[in-house]
Amino acid sequence: MNTTLLTGLLPQAALSAEAFGDVPGAWLFPEEAAALSGATDRRRREFATVRHCARVALTSLGRPAGPMVPGKRGAPTWPEGVVGSMTHCDGYRAAVVSRRIDIAALGIDAEPHLPLPPSLLGRIASPRERDHLAALRQAHPTVHWDRLFFSAKESVYKAWFPLTRTWLDFREAEVALEPYRQTFRARLLRTGHDDEGRPLHEFDGRWRVGRRLVVTAVSYGVSAFAHGRVRRDTVYGRR
């Protein structure tokens, strides 16, 4: 099995693909190309490459890849019965997919491992979160915790939106980063329900720093099979 920066950050049922730059010859369906009217060449290349990654991951999942056109709020559309997430930043593109019966929602984000502009941190973090980040910086100064914090909030939103189809502001999820286990927890500060009507209270995620990048990932509604704890025929054989 191919490994990526996302390997180990998500359950086994989540399959990922990545590229450290644009893939020559990455192509688009006509519907995808039409969504890029007026876009720059750079935007077209990253759009095509991240969808190339998604198609590679879908092939690993055994699913055909159709057009993945941006929908509401820019979220990509996925094949029926599939959940997924995409991310891109300078020098990196990645996508992750899973069967919906295994994982209800996924969110991933990658950012350059650089300091976050101070003005941006003030807009996305509460006073308590800023105190938390200050303590982390003092104890572990080699990590750009502000950038990691921003990435975690991006991953939380990418998992939240497909479940609720509603906006989630940066200040509506309170994130706490755990430095030793490389995990984080987001406490949701607004009311939301998943697509089966269950209330959403928090998301758990994992993070990694490597290759001058920070990468974060969130999964929600994970089955026992998705973690590899039981065989699929044990869970689904009587359906």
User: Is the model's pTM score more than 0.75?
Assistant: yes
Is 43 annotated among the ligand-binding residues? yes
CA-to-CA distance for 123 and 139, rounded, in angstroms?
Answer: 24
Q: Is residue 4 part of a domain?
A: no
Could you tell me which residue, 119 or 229, shows the higher pLDDT? Answer: 119
Q: What's the N-to-C CA distance of the chain in angstroms? A: 28
Is 111 annotated among the ligand-binding residues? yes
What residues make up the domain containing 120?
15-236
CB 97 within 8 A of CB 15: yes
Residue 224 has pLDDT above 70, yes or no: no
Q: What share of the chain is helix, strand, coil (3-state, %, to 5)?
A: 35, 30, 40
Strands of 92-99's sheet, edge to edge? Answer: 15-19, 92-99, 82-89
CB 58 within 8 A of CB 16: no
Residue 231 has pLDDT above 50, yes or no: no
**Residue 37 phi, psi dihedral angles, 5° rounding:** -55, 125
Q: Is residue 8 part of a domain?
A: no
CA-to-CA distance for 190 and 196, rounded, in angstroms?
Answer: 18
Residue 235 has pLDDT above 80, yes or no: no
Is 87 annotated among the ligand-binding residues? yes
CA-to-CA distance for 129 and 121, rounded, in angstroms?
Answer: 10
Could you tell me which residue, 182 or 64, shows the higher pLDDT? Answer: 182
Burial of 235 (0-12, 13-18, 19+ CB in 10 A): middle
Is 94 annotated among the ligand-binding residues? no
Which residue has 């086994």 as its token pair? 12
Is 195 annotated among the ligand-binding residues? no
Residue 153 has pLDDT above 50, yes or no: yes
Q: Is residue 67 part of a domain?
A: yes
Q: Is residue 3 part of a domain?
A: no
pLDDT the model gives residue 74: 80
Residue 230 has pLDDT above 90, yes or no: no
Q: Is residue 55 part of a domain?
A: yes
DSSP class of residue 20? S
Q: Is residue 5 part of a domain?
A: no
Count of the separate structural domains present in the chain: 1
Residue 134, SS3?
helix
Q: Is residue 100 part of a domain?
A: yes
Residue 91 has pLDDT above 60, yes or no: yes
CB 22 within 8 A of CB 46: yes
Q: Is residue 9 part of a domain?
A: no
On average, the pLDDT of the chain sits at 92
DSSP-assigned beta bridge partners for residue 94: 18, 87
Is 194 annotated among the ligand-binding residues? no
Is 158 annotated among the ligand-binding residues? yes
Is 51 annotated among the ligand-binding residues? yes
* CATH, residue 149: 3.90.470.20
E strand or H helix at 129, and its extent? helix 127-139
Residue 234 has pLDDT above 80, yes or no: no
Reported as a single tens digit per residue, the pLDDT across 22-54 is: 999 999 999 999 999 889 999 999 999 999 999
Residue 237 has pLDDT above 60, yes or no: no
CA-to-CA distance for 164 and 196, rounded, in angstroms?
Answer: 10
